[in-house]
Structure formats: structure tokens, C-alpha cells
Structure 1
Amino acid sequence: MKLKKLYPELVSGIIDQGFDKEPKEIQTDCIPKIKSGADLLVIAPEGSGKTTTIVIGVIQQLKEAFEEAPRAIVLVGNKEKAFELEEQFELLGKHTNLRTFTVFDQGNLQYQKDTIYEGLDILIGTPKRINELLSNTGIPCTKLKLLVVDDAETIFPNRHHPVVYRISDGSIKIQCLLFANKWHEKFDDLTKRIEKNWVLINTDC
């Protein structure tokens, strides 16, 4: 991952957080491919830097605020992980004007829907709540560019995968990035169900 090839405001955030010293293997492997628009299925152990890779990749692709509808949806396994991810976006994206918002199962659905329609770029949330918002016309998807799934090895076995298919089916141009701690047999179904030129990155070998 060469910083000089990244969005300058993102580079400032990376330097501020000290992530410019020695990029982790997953960042070196993934960021150039994300930047190129590739669809990734990434298998890497916990603590390998997946969260930071997601944040850098999404900020690099979106760069700055644009109109009102979200351009990235990031699915995570639970509320705690969602807010952890939001904090990372705020830290690494503090020199940008990108807008993030987090939704979760126990939150007020109408409040979350209203906030989304006020305008944002990155929507982070749990699969159940994202699905509920989609069913209640709470997420305009006309500008969606990125679908990111973290904790994919828990989301797919727990029968939350239909929302992944629902979002991906909504746009043939959407870039899909899936990250998991370990391989799960349902990923075979995923790669068949979502017909893309998937690039597999496995650092857990």
C-alpha cells in the first residue's frame, strides 16, 4: 500500500493515527485491489487489520461527501462492532467531509430512517436492522457503490445472508467486499449466487 497513491485527505488521517509506519499484509494485499474496483472475498484471522483495511478502502473509493443517498453500506455482526467501525471512520476520515451513521436492532427505526434521509455517505449496521430499513423504504439505494460485509463467517451461518443478496441484486455495478476471520462453506453459495469475478485473498494459510 503506497500512501502517495491514496486520496490526500485519507493519507493525512492515516499518518495522524500512525498507520503509515508498516502496513499490514492484508492492507498491502487488499487496498490496491479495492482501489481498482475488484470484488473481494478476504479471509484473515482476528487482529490482522481487517477493520482498518475496510475503513481505508471505503474512504479511498468515496473520497468526499456527495448528494444525500448513501454510497456505501457496511454490514457487521453486532452493535458493538458497528460503533467500533464508526469510530475508525471518524478517525481516519477526519480530514474528509464523509458522513457516517450507524443503525442497530434495538434503535428507534423511525429516527434511524429520518437520519438516513437527511443525507450521509456511509451507512454501518447490523443485517437485521438494515433489512428492516430496506423493507420500510428507509434506505435510498440509487447512489450505492459499495457493499461491505465484515464478520461474514457469522452473518452467513446465522441466516442473515439474504440481505447481502438483496442489496447486491439491486445494482449490477455495486462493488462487493466481504471479510471473514475464517472460511465458511456458505461462501461457496455466495460466489455462485452473486455472479462476479471474485478475488480471493486468504492470509490465514
Structure 2
Amino acid sequence: MPFKKLHHHLLEVLAHFSIEKPTPFQKDSIPIIKSGANVFCIAPKDSGKTTTLILTTLNKLKCEASGNAPRAVVLVENKEKALELHDKFLEYTKQTSVRVYVGYKELHIDIQKSEIFEGIDILVTTPTNLHKLFLTNGVSTSQLKICSIEDGDFVVQQSEYMAMLSVTQSIIKCQYVLYAEKAHPKLQRFEEFFMERAQHVKL
């Protein structure tokens, strides 16, 4: 079964990459994520989680730039993961106006704030760096539509876990999607704090 009801640009990119059919995980998860629900996506490595994250994020933003504040946030473990995911996003946004920005603790916070202020659509960063941006009024969440956590197993670390709880308190309304390889009990507790009525996709 081919990918269904995705933005035409995404279908063109998938065709360019010769990706014709969704993986079993993508077949189960993409429709649920597109519905707007909070979702725990638990699946092993190489099941298509990263591509799912990129497709559903860009589909949510209709593959076009809008406004100045980020409409999507993607949280990752560290600088290396942030840069890697940023490059993967660019493979899907080359022919669009979507602005993808990567921030990390090694980059001075004032530089991040000034570059974000210029206008972005997708912010790729770590929970602790996002928390620091919040504390310094470096990013607005007024337009945020979706927050995804890539390979979220790392969030069980205390510093990242507490940063997640802090930043989500500052977000009024947003869809949350957490991708991980294992259903860690600590991650499941997010349902009590900010992932209300979350659905679960497990491969």
C-alpha cells in the first residue's frame, strides 16, 4: 500500500528516493499522528521512526513557511543528533520555503536567540537547551503545533527529564509525539503531565 493523504511535495520526495511503501510501523503510526493525537511510538531501530517524524512534521506545517515563531519543535539527545536530523530534514525541504533551525548548548545562547528571532518554522534542539531558551525569552511557543521527541530513550536521564517537564509547562497547547525503542515507565509518566489521552503505537 502506498503512502496516502500526505502533502503532494512529500509524495514527490518519497518517489525521488524510490520509497514506495510505508514500513509496518509507518502504516500504523502516520494516520494516528496525522489525527492530531498525542502518541507514544515504540518501535525497534530501522523501523522508519525518523522518516515518520519528518513526514508528519512537514505535513502538519503544509510544507511551507509561516510567521516567525517555530510551529514545530524536535527534541534530540545532543548536538550530533541535532545536526544529523537537521540535515535529514533538509533532504525533504529543499524545494520548499520551510526554515529548519538547529540549536545546541555549544552555540552561544545569544546567537541562537538572534537567529531564531529572524524567523524559523522547525527548531531542532535538546530539552535542556530549549529550557535555557525559554528562561532567556529566546523562543516563543505561541504558534507551536507539534513537539516530537526523537529516539526518546535518552529522556529518562534526570536532567533531560526535568527539562521536559519544565518546558511543557510553558506550552499552552501542542501535539506531542514521542519515539523510542522501549516503553520505559518513566517516559510513560509523561501521560500524566502533558501527553493527555495519548495513543500508543508499538511494533
TM-score, with structure 1 as normaliser: 0.92
2:130–2:167 Cα contact (<8 Å) kept:
no
Identity, in percent, stands at: 34
Change (3 A) 1:114 1:43: same
Q: Following TM superposition, by how much is the alpha carbon of 1:2 offset from its aligned partner in structure 2, in angstroms?
A: 4.7
Match of 2:162 in 1: 162
Match of 1:45 in 2: 44
Which of structure 1's runs of 4+ aligned residues deviate more than 6 A? Answer: none
Match of 2:16 in 1: 16
**1:112-191 pair list within 5 angstroms:** 112-191=112-191
Gaps spanning 5+ residues in structure 1: where?
Answer: none
Q: Following TM superposition, by how much is the alpha carbon of 1:172 offset from its aligned partner in structure 2, in angstroms?
A: 4.3
Q: Following TM superposition, by how much is the alpha carbon of 1:4 offset from its aligned partner in structure 2, in angstroms?
A: 4.6
In structure 1, C-alpha distance between the alignment counterparts of 2:80 and 2:13, rounded to whole Å: 23
Does structure 1 residue 82 correspond to structure 2 residue 60? Answer: no
Q: Following TM superposition, by how much is the alpha carbon of 1:8 offset from its aligned partner in structure 2, in angstroms?
A: 0.9
Q: Following TM superposition, by how much is the alpha carbon of 1:167 offset from its aligned partner in structure 2, in angstroms?
A: 3.5
Match of 1:109 in 2: 109
2:38–2:195 Cα contact (<8 Å) kept:
no
Question: Secondary structure of the equivalent of 2:189?
Answer: helix
Match of 2:28 in 1: 29
In structure 1, C-alpha distance between the alignment counterparts of 2:129 and 2:171, rounded to whole Å: 20
In structure 2, C-alpha distance between the alignment counterparts of 1:56 and 1:11, rounded to whole Å: 9
In structure 2, C-alpha distance between the alignment counterparts of 1:62 and 1:26, rounded to whole Å: 22
**Larger deviation: 74-83 or 2-11?**
2-11
Q: Deviations over 1:81-134 (max 9, x none)?
A: 111111111112223211100011211211111110000000000122111111
Q: Following TM superposition, by how much is the alpha carbon of 1:49 offset from its aligned partner in structure 2, in angstroms?
A: 1.3
1:109–1:133 Cα contact (<8 Å) kept:
yes
Q: Which amino acid in the other structure matches residue 28 of structure 2?
A: D
